[in-house]
Amino acid sequence: MSRAEQITKLIKSLSTTTPDIEAAAVVDNDGLMMASSLPQDVDEDSVAAMSSALQGISERIASELNRGSFELVMVRGGDGFAILTRCSDEAVLSVLTSKNAKLGLIFLDVKRAAADIGKLLR
């Protein structure tokens, strides 16, 4: 099984085992999709580009405001959350959740998945 297939398997598992996670994707620092488990009506290129942009600005904010290295950023919208977390030096994990998501469980599962993905990317 290729690395991309292993990552895809991990994020599909994340989406199916954590009820409030609706979609997940792994995006490299250049904004290219590495693996995804997104609904068919979601444009992968847009998710990748937006994830990369959010990662870049989040890293700059953390650095310039002396908050340490970037770990996680969350955007809350009326219909749910977008959560982005670093999984390696070269990639981030982006997840979309429902609006009533239990964030403690989401953060725990996302952190574990990001660590597993990071191991595959080494």
Q: What is the DSSP letter of 69?
A: S
- Whole-number pLDDT of residue 112: 95
- Whole-number pLDDT of residue 8: 92
Average pLDDT over residues 4-23: 92
**For residue 30, is it left (φ>0), alpha (ψ between -120 and 50) or beta?**
alpha
CB atoms under 10 Å from CB of 114, counted, come to 23
- 61: Cβ contacts below 8 Å, ≥ 6 apart: 67
For residue 50, name the pLDDT band (cuts at 50, 70, 90): very high
Specify the number of domains making up the chain.
1
H/E segment holding residue 31: none
Model pTM score: 0.92
| CATH label of the domain that carries residue 77 | 3.30.450.30
Q: CA-CA distance, 11 to 71, in Å (whole number)?
A: 18
- Whole-number pLDDT of residue 78: 97
- Mean pLDDT in the chain? 94
Specify whether the CB–CB gap between 29 and 55 falls below 8 A: yes
pLDDT tens column, 62-99: 999 999 999 999 999 999 999 999 999 999 999 999 99
Q: Which structural domain, as residue segments, surrounds residue 91?
A: 3-121
For residue 3, name the pLDDT band (cuts at 50, 70, 90): confident
Nearest-10 crossing angle of helices 3-17, 103-121 = 170
